């Protein structure tokens, strides 16, 4: 077996590979950019070597820098993870020339399937159903408009070397096709060093279902069932699950057989994924093949019991697969939620900063966590915004969803914005629970963006009861403070007014052995918990049902986060509630005359000049953050008064870009 493996990657996937290597007794080597000097993968590896400045194009994408680290460390194999150089043929060839094993498929397979344009041609020649489109590289924006018109709108403009949602734009008309070509090309160039894009027909109401394949160097190829990856935003997967709630046994077998046939066509070895678009009638079309490990591989591991990273290593060493297709089982259900550093309340814009608080639930047979950061880690603007992958397993889909909801409620992250609330809202959504999914799910169910989950009345009352217990315990703690007059230790109040938004309800509290009995709006129920003042997570029973909520003190009450909703609950004495009702509401500042930078990022372009009249929807500026370009448009007609930023400027969140008259 290999003696030492260098991991040409960073973040959670580098930590994931290290975990399997440790179990196999293989030494590991990490590489890191200047931004990752103190990163988790660097601390976990046996050795670590610097490879350059923070931008990926100057470090993780520099083949010579990786080769130099290999030479210094004496590693005899390289695992590329996903992204960066994982599907780069030149990198695999350079390793082969250096006598170092590449833990992945052959260079011929990478060339055949890693290039999205060439893979579609090969798939079509092999008799695989493909999506209608123009398979060659588009030369310029005008050709993109011409081809899109011939294919028929809507169309998808995609980077040939793309992946992970980078370099993809959906166009419904000529203007969007023109703009989409420019943005997709720019993203493809900065992310992959390859600006080629192509156009294909966009299948409406599609599901994104992929087949995990695994092959060895002895001609054995099999598939490890499917993954449903339809919950996406901007073509970036958000929640994945295995198996798919949509496929039947017949369709699963047909897709698996086609995926294996395609892999066999190119002599595939190692782990790979054949992605399909599946229509409402279960007709499926080849989308692309990823010749690498997928981000969402944990859900396949959870339902099959197969360590895919281990199999990749063994295949690269030359071992035959130790199991056959008939040995691949489908055990239970697994779901993965991608925890991102992004703000769902501000259009999912990227967030950067330090993880001031980072507490996730403990791993168990039902919960798996893949992460590359710890409390105190910095989330950088140079790389993608993934913080962790939270995976749960259950005997049934409902059970797996239940474990996911509990796990999400048990997370506590501060210091940056994140999508925990959004993930919880999706997990609780009736349509998601029914399995009625498509890649348009988020756009259809959250058409006006995300503004927090809607709680049912009984859920809100449960949180009011929790707030009452929290305040009672806090007041009880205060009565024990040293130095008080012995004759003055009044017991905590037991009658309050709970205020949350426009709602105001009287609450009566009666202490019990494990908590309190709460009476709200004529309903009485017990709230039981070991919570003590200072704890940031409430875990207990409310009306006999388990409930977890994140707790933050807010003045005379608490901000409670549960089920994707944030609820500010003030718990007041009756007289204080009377006076609070007379207080005027604080009005937010007027920022309508300014275009503010919505997230920390780099200004790519300013499209207007002072004195220019602009129309609603007109592009004003482009800001890049975490390898994604964001076009900022005018919300209404106006005239530009002053430009406060220029291309190349690094801006903080809410920094002024331009001002209107």
Question: What number of CA atoms fall less than 13 Å from residue 349's CA on the CB side?
Answer: 18
CA–CA dist 466, 246 (Å, integer): 38
CA–CA dist 26, 5 (Å, integer): 7
Report whether pLDDT(660) > 80. yes
Task: Write out the H or E segment, with its range, that includes residue 310.
Answer: helix 308-317
Q: For 19-24, which contacts have Cβ atoms below 8 Å and span 24 or more sequence positions?
A: 20/307, 20/309, 20/310, 20/313, 21/313, 23/310, 24/310, 24/313
Q: Is 528 a catalytic residue?
A: no
pLDDT recorded at residue 119: 85
Report whether pLDDT(484) > 70. no
Report whether pLDDT(618) > 80. yes
Percent of the chain scored above 90 by pLDDT? 72
| pTM value > 0.75 | yes
pLDDT digits (tens, 9 = 90+) for 198-215: 998 888 789 999 999 999
CA angle (14 as vertex; 96, 30 as ends), nearest 5: 65
Lowest mean per-residue pLDDT among 38-42, 121-125, 594-598 = 121-125
pLDDT digits (tens, 9 = 90+) for 143-155: 999 999 998 899 9
Phi-psi region of 354 (alpha: psi -120 to 50; beta: other; left: phi over 0): beta
> Residue range 220-244: average pLDDT?
95
Report whether pLDDT(391) > 70. yes
- Residues written for the chain: 661
Band of the pLDDT at 501, cuts 50, 70, 90?
confident
Q: Hey, which bits of 205-332 come out as E strands?
A: 207-215, 221-233, 236-242, 270-278, 284-290
Report whether pLDDT(96) > 80. yes
Band of the pLDDT at 246, cuts 50, 70, 90?
very high
CA–CA dist 597, 577 (Å, integer): 39
**Contact of 496 with 484, CB cutoff 8 Å:** no
> Residue 88 gets which letter from DSSP?
-
Band of the pLDDT at 537, cuts 50, 70, 90?
very high
Spot the catalytic one: 12, 288, 296, 342.
288
CA–CA dist 231, 234 (Å, integer): 10
- CA distances for 640 relative to 3, 244, 589, 624, 632, angstroms: 63, 50, 20, 22, 14
Band of the pLDDT at 295, cuts 50, 70, 90?
very high
Band of the pLDDT at 443, cuts 50, 70, 90?
very high
Cis peptide, bond prior to residue 154, ω within 30 of zero: yes
Band of the pLDDT at 502, cuts 50, 70, 90?
confident
pLDDT digits (tens, 9 = 90+) for 392-430: 999 999 999 999 999 999 999 999 999 999 999 999 999
Residue whose tokens read 């944990």: 298
pLDDT digits (tens, 9 = 90+) for 36-64: 999 999 999 999 999 999 999 999 999 99
Q: Count other Cβ atoms within 10 Å, centred on residue 81.
A: 26
CA–CA dist 522, 56 (Å, integer): 60
Which residue did the predictor score with more confidence, 187 or 325? 325
pLDDT recorded at residue 145: 94
**Contact of 504 with 489, CB cutoff 8 Å:** no
In order of their start, the domains of the chain are 4-103 (3.40.50.20), 110-130+207-331 (3.30.470.20), 132-201 (3.30.1490.20), 332-443 (3.30.470.20), 457-479+492-580 (3.30.700.30), 594-660 (2.40.50.100)
| Helices (runs of H) and strands (runs of E) counted in the chain | 17, 39
Mean pLDDT over all residues of the chain?
92
Band of the pLDDT at 526, cuts 50, 70, 90?
very high
Band of the pLDDT at 381, cuts 50, 70, 90?
confident
CA–CA dist 175, 187 (Å, integer): 18
Band of the pLDDT at 237, cuts 50, 70, 90?
very high
């Amino acid at each position: 077996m290999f003696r030492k493996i260098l991991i040409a990657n960073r973040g959670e996937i580098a930590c994931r590979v290290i975990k399997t290597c440790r179990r196999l007794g293989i030494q590991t080597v990490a590489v890191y950019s200047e931004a990752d000097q103190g990163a988790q993968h660097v601390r976990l590896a046996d050795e670590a070597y610097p490879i350059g400045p923070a931008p990926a194009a100057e470090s993780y994408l520099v083949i010579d820098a990786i080769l130099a680290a290999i030479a210094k460390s004496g590693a005899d194999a390289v695992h590329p993870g996903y992204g960066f150089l994982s599907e780069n043929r030149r990198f695999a060839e350079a390793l082969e020339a250096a006598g170092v094993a590449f833990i992945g498929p052959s260079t011929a397979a990478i060339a055949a399937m890693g290039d999205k344009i060439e893979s579609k041609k090969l798939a079509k020649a092999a008799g695989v159903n493909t999506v209608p489109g123009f398979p060659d590289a588009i030369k310029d924006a005008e050709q993109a408009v011409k081809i899109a018109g011939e294919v028929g709108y809507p169309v998808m403009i995609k980077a040939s070397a793309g992946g992970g949602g980078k370099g993809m734009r959906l166009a419904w008309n000529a203007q969007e096709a023109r703009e989409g070509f420019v943005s997709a090309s720019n993203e493809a160039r900065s992310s992959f060093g390859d600006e080629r894009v192509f156009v294909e027909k966009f299948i409406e109401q599609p599901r994104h279902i992929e087949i995990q394949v695994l092959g060895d160097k002895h001609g054995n190829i099999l598939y490890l069932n499917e993954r449903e990856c339809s919950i996406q935003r901007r073509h970036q997967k958000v929640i994945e699950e295995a198996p798919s709630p949509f496929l039947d046994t017949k369709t699963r077998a047909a897709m698996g057989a086609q995926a294996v046939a395609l892999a066999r066509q190119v002599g595939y070895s190692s782990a790979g994924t054949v992605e399909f678009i599946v229509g409402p009638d279960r007709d499926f079309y080849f989308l692309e093949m990823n010749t690498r490990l997928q981000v969402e591989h944990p859900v396949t591991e959870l339902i099959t019991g197969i360590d895919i990273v281990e199999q990749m290593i063994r295949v690269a060493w030359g071992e035959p697969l130790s199991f056959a297709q008939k040995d691949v089982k489908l055990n239970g259900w697994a779901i993965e939620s991608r925890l991102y550093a992004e703000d769902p309340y501000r259009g999912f814009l990227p967030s950067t900063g330090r993880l001031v608080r980072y507490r996730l639930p403990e791993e168990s047979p039902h919960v798996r966590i893949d992460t590359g950061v710890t409390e105190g880690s910095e989330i950088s603007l140079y790389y993608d915004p993934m913080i962790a992958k939270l995976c749960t397993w259950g005997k049934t889909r409902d059970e797996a969803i239940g474990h996911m909801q509990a796990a999400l409620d048990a997370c506590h992250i501060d210091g940056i914005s994140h999508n925990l609330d959004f993930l919880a809202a999706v997990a609780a959504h009736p349509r998601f629970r029914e399995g009625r999914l498509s890649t348009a799910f988020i756009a259809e169910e959250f058409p006006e963006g995300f503004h927090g989950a809607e709680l049912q009345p009984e859920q809100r009352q449960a949180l009011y009861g929790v707030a009452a217990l929290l305040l009672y315990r806090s007041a009880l703690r205060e009565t024990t403070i040293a130095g008080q007059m012995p004759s003055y230790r009044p017991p905590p109040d037991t009658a309050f007014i709970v205020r949350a938004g426009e709602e105001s309800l009287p609450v009566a509290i009666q202490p019990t052995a494990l908590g309190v009995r709460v009476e709200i709006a004529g309903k009485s129920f017990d709230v039981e918990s070991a919570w003590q003042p200072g704890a940031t997570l409430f875990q207990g029973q409310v009306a006999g049902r388990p409930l977890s909520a994140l707790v933050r003190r807010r003045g005379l009450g608490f901000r409670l986060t549960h089920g994707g909703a944030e609820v500010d609950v003030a718990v007041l004495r009756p007289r204080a509630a009377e006076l609070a009702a007379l207080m005027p509401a604080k009005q937010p500042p007027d920022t309508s005359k300014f275009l503010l930078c919505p997230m920390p990022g780099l200004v790519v372009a300013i499209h207007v000049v002072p004195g220019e009249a602009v129309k609603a929807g007109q592009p004003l500026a482009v800001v890049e953050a975490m390898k994604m370009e964001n076009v900022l448009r005018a919300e209404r007609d106006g005239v530009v008064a002053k430009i406060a930023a220029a291309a190349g400027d690094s801006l903080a969140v809410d920094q002024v870009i331009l001002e209107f008259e």
